Amino acid sequence: MRLIKITGWILISILTLFILFLLFATFSDYKPAVKEIISESAKPDTIRTGEKISCLLWNIGYCGLGREMDFFYDGGSQVRTSYENTLRNFSYIKRFLAENDSCHFILLQEVDIKSKRTYRINEADSFDRALPNHHAFFALNYKVKFVPVPPLSPLGKVNSGLLTLAKYLPGKCVRHNYPGDYSWPTNLFMLDRCFMVNRYPLPNGKEFLVINSHNSAFDDGSLKIQEMQYLKDFMMEEYGKGNYILVGADWNQNPPDFTSKTSSSELKYERFLLHSIDNDFMPEDWKWIYYPSIPSNRNLKTPYDQDSSSLTILDFFLLSPNLRKLRVKTLNLQFEYSDHQPVLLDLEIIDNASSIE
């Protein structure tokens, strides 16, 4: 009888602690506004029409997903890499960004600020200081005081988000919260997806919008649908005003007309519902820009293997009809420092949209 009572009290204690933890997670849950102004300036830089603009896009995998890593959520076994590997990835990525400081815009995803998984390195601040000629704009999309999975080695505290580094000072930078969410209590420990918009005046009275986005990954597809429609509505409204729109994103989807032949191996994504964006999602004069010959993402079920890893393209650009692509190239780093690879784009702002080829 005594053993039964002790066992009962233990179970009650565990249940009580679990309930208290859920209450703590619920009341401390990050609840971003639908729109949040990150920066405003009364004296923004004006970008000239006809100007050639360069842009670098890279999901840096929070400097913790180098070639040696697999990841438990992709079917692997590891939770985080070693401090030495994290520091190696971080040091290379910071140096890479500094060496590419000629880019007018650098759009990064999965940038950590003092998270457990990246040994509390403030990556956003370090990248900002490494590019003194750029303005830095950061938007949180993953803020959880304690992520309890996996149970034996939990992720713990996570602060992460989008970082845009821009040579030009915008009139306004705004975080836009994507609609849709996971059900409770899963939503307490998942990302709050968003896109960030920098607005720049043009001499013709219109605006050039630079959008940095990171769309949902591990969902049943319903969140992606809501996010894509929300982004489309926003873009079409802005383009209807005569504005110019550049989107650089980790879409967690393939570009339209993409086939698995573009990858170097058969796709083997398990918890990740991967498909291509519909060909008619945007009007046909909008341009999806990617480099088909080199994959931009690898699956994390296993460490990177050149012959067997599943590779695909998730990182690419979207241009409104009044912008012209000049050059695009994915840089093949053999997934040494991140599970994504950087993509470079040169484009031109056209004053007369009818002149676009």
Q: How much of the chain exceeds pLDDT 90, in percent?
A: 76
pLDDT at residue 11, rounded to an integer: 81
pTM: 0.94
Place 185 in a pLDDT band, splitting at 50, 70 and 90: confident
pLDDT at residue 260, rounded to an integer: 56
Under a CB-based contact definition with an 8 Å cutoff, are residues 151 and 121 in contact? no
Residue appearing with tokens 């590891």: 78
More confident position, 269 or 75: 75
pLDDT of residue 131 exceeding 60, the answer is: yes
Under a CB-based contact definition with an 8 Å cutoff, are residues 201 and 46 in contact? yes
Return mean pLDDT, the chain: 92
Residues β-bridged to residue 54 = 346
Angle at CA 192, nearest 5°, toward 131 and 31? 105
Tell me the pLDDT tens digit for each residue of 189-225.
889 999 999 999 999 999 999 999 999 988 777 899 9
Place 6 in a pLDDT band, splitting at 50, 70 and 90: confident
Q: How far is the C-alpha of 94 from the C-alpha of 354, rounded, in Å?
A: 40
Please report, for residues 120, 170, 180, 219, 225, the alpha-carbon distance to residue 108 in angstroms, rounded to integers and kept in the order given: 18, 17, 23, 22, 23
pLDDT of residue 332 exceeding 70, the answer is: yes
| Sequence-distant (≥ 6) Cβ neighbours of residue 29 within 8 angstroms | 187, 188
Tally of CB atoms within 10 A around 26: 12
More confident position, 306 or 27: 306
pLDDT at residue 352, rounded to an integer: 64
pLDDT at residue 270, rounded to an integer: 59
pLDDT at residue 133, rounded to an integer: 97
| Sequence-distant (≥ 6) Cβ neighbours of residue 273 within 8 angstroms | 219, 220, 221
Within the chain, residue ranges assigned H as helices are 2-27, 83-99, 123-130, 222-240
pLDDT at residue 354, rounded to an integer: 43
Among residues 238, 42, 57, 36, the alpha carbon closest in space to that of 138 is found at 36
Q: Per DSSP, which regions of 167-257 are E strands?
A: 172-177, 194-201, 207-214, 244-250
**In a 10 Å sphere around its CB, with 0-12 CB exposed, 13-18 middle and 19+ buried, how is residue 139 labelled?**
buried
pLDDT at residue 357, rounded to an integer: 41
Tell me the pLDDT tens digit for each residue of 45-62.
999 988 899 999 999 999
Among 3.60.10.10, 3.40.50.300, 1.25.40.10, 3.30.360.10, what is the CATH number of 33-355? 3.60.10.10
Place 187 in a pLDDT band, splitting at 50, 70 and 90: confident
Residues β-bridged to residue 216 = none
Starting at the earlier edge strand, list the strands of the sheet with 156-166: 135-147, 156-166, 105-112, 52-59, 343-349, 323-330
| HEC secondary structure over 254-276 | ECCCCCHHHCCCCCCCCCCCCCE
Q: How far is the C-alpha of 58 from the C-alpha of 108, rounded, in Å?
A: 5
pLDDT of residue 269 exceeding 60, the answer is: no
Q: How much of the chain exceeds pLDDT 70, in percent?
A: 94
Q: What is the dihedral of CA 293, 299, 304, 310, to 10 degrees?
A: -50
pLDDT at residue 268, rounded to an integer: 56
Tell me the pLDDT tens digit for each residue of 64-122.
999 999 999 888 999 999 999 999 999 999 999 999 999 999 999 999 999 999 999 99
Under a CB-based contact definition with an 8 Å cutoff, are residues 235 and 271 in contact? no
In the predicted model, what is the mean pLDDT of residues 337-348? 98
Residues β-bridged to residue 250 = 214, 315
Residues β-bridged to residue 107 = 57, 164
Domains in the chain: boundaries? 1-30, 33-355
